[in-house]
């Protein structure tokens, strides 16, 4: 199995790593957005694969900073949004 790393179009200022605990997917995204497309890893509940690639990219582009991993859970598909009560 070969590892695929994101292709960069320019130097990223910031590299963001987020992990969706409910789906087990992690995502790498960049600032500015035109530095590269967001890249998603399946079956990466801990964010280890995403962090490894983020560190590789940061080493290639000195001055880039890594933010994360940030863990979150997506709202269930059938979750109902409840309106706020007026204050």
Indicate whether 49 pLDDT > 70: yes
Euclidean distance between CA atoms 87 and 75, whole angstroms: 25
Fold of 14-72: Nucleotidyltransferase; domain 5 (3.30.420)
User: In this predicted structure, what is the pLDDT of residue 1?
Assistant: 38
Backbone region of residue 73 per phi and psi (left: phi > 0; alpha: psi in -120 to 50; beta: other values): beta
Question: How confident is the prediction for the chain on average, in pLDDT?
Answer: 86
Q: Is 40 in contact with 31 (CB distance < 8 Å)?
A: no
Sketch the domain layout of the chain as residue ranges. 14-72
pLDDT digits (tens, 9 = 90+) for 9-47: 889 999 999 999 888 999 999 999 889 899 999 999 999
Top-confidence residue, 44 or 81: 44
CA 51 vs. chain centroid, Å, equals 9
Q: Give Cα separations from 66 to 19, 46, 48, 71, 76 (angstroms).
A: 14, 16, 13, 15, 29
């Amino acid at each position: 199995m070969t590892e695929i790393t994101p292709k960069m179009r320019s130097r990223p200022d910031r590299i963001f790593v987020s992990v969706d605990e409910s789906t087990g997917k992690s995502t790498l995204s960049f600032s500015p957005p035109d530095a590269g497309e967001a890249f998603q890893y399946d079956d990466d509940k801990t964010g280890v694969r995403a962090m490894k690639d983020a560190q590789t990219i940061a080493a290639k582009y000195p001055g880039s900073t890594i933010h994360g991993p940030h863990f979150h859970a997506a709202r269930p598909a059938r979750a109902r949004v409840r309106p706020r009560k007026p204050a």
